[in-house]
Amino acid sequence: MASSCWGLPDFLCGAPEMSGSAMRAMRRTIDTGFRDMVRGASSYIDAATAPVQSFLNTLEGLFVNTPWIVVFLVLVGITWGTSRSWKITAGAGVALIGIGWFGLWNDSMITLSMVTVCTLVAVIIGLPIGILTARSDRAQRIITPVLDVMQTMPSFVYLIPVVVIFGIGKVPGMIAVVIYAMPPMIRLTNLGIRLVDREAIEAADAFGSSERQKLWNVQLPLALPTLMTGVNQTIMMALSMVVVASMVGVGGLGRNVLQAINNQFFTIGFLNGFALVAIAITFDRASQAYGKRLQRHKEVSDE
């Protein structure tokens, strides 16, 4: 008996735990069943992930193989179009030139393509789920605990089932990033729709609008600033997950950071880290400025 048991009986001294043989049997049963299930469905899994793989490869090839000046002008133009701020646009231009100057252009384009695809997939999946939770209290009670688990689960844990099911490569990394980045889109879509002014809903009801017309013509337009905040948070979480996803074969800046950690390359690690920070700040400022513009437009429209 341990000295810390204070004379208590054995069954009160140690925490109750499963026997070693029972634990081994349980692990063997779960792991074998899961592995057999994955092997049986491997052809369906490959067919389901093929379009995503093709889209990701196409976008990555477009970003990497297009002359840098064209990509540079397009990205700066998009930044200006969303923010309408010369300070943010100039900052984005300086950040891109700095990335190219330090030889990180191709890796940054691979990371950009990954973040773009992951954000699109997360928004396409998260937006309908957010609408569902906004329109149904029962759905909200079911989905909210799932989102709590998704957001509190350590990011490395996402890689375990993803690798078992999909193996190593870009698509498994992308799926892990999407799962990690999607909860803010669902939560903020739900919040934005629920915060739409009741008077606007009543006015739409008075004009005989159907549920679909209210959603597309009233609720989603009025909730657009909150939805843009959700997109912003999705982008930020996707960027933060890129380094972790590099452990399962995702290239780009995340892989460079991982190699720098393994080999203790201080300078390379920081340069790639700063490139990720520059991209994150550019996305953050541009999307925030776009959200503020939408908010001002909404306030003017309400007056």
Question: Tens of pLDDT along the chain (303 residues)?
Answer: 445 677 777 777 778 788 888 888 888 898 888 888 888 877 887 788 788 888 888 888 888 888 989 989 999 998 888 888 888 889 889 988 988 888 888 888 888 888 888 889 999 999 999 999 998 889 989 998 988 888 888 777 777 777 777 777 788 888 888 888 899 999 999 998 898 888 888 888 888 778 888 888 888 888 888 888 888 889 888 888 877 887 777 777 888 888 888 787 888 888 888 888 888 888 888 887 887 777 666 655 555
The residue to which tokens 């909210």 are assigned: 144
Supply the pLDDT for residue 218.
83
Q: What is the pLDDT of residue 303?
A: 55
| Integer CA distances (angstroms), 130 to 112, 176, 212, 231, 259, in order | 25, 20, 15, 12, 38
The confidence score (pLDDT) of residue 302 equals 57
Cβ of 88: how many Cβ atoms within 10 Å?
A: 20
Q: Which architecture characterizes domain 30-300 according to CATH?
A: Orthogonal Bundle (1.10)
Determine what percent of the chain falls in helix, strand and coil, rounding each to the nearest 5: 85, 0, 15
Provide the 10 A C-beta neighbour count for residue 140: 16
Q: Tokens for 43, please give them.
A: 């052809």
Between the alpha carbon of residue 166 and those of residues 45, 48, 60, 115, the distances in Å are 7, 11, 20, 19
CA 224 to chain centre: 19
CA distance 89 to 76: 6
The two three-digit tokens of residue 159, written as one number: 């890689």
pLDDT for the residue numbered 254: 80
pLDDT of residue 102: 87
8 A C-beta contact, residue 260 and residue 268: yes
pLDDT, residue 255, reads 81
Long-range contacts of 138-142 (CB under 8 A, 24+ apart): 140/190
Write down the residue that tokens 């969303």 correspond to.
82
Residue 267, Cα to own-chain centre: how many angstroms? 28
pLDDT of residue 301: 58
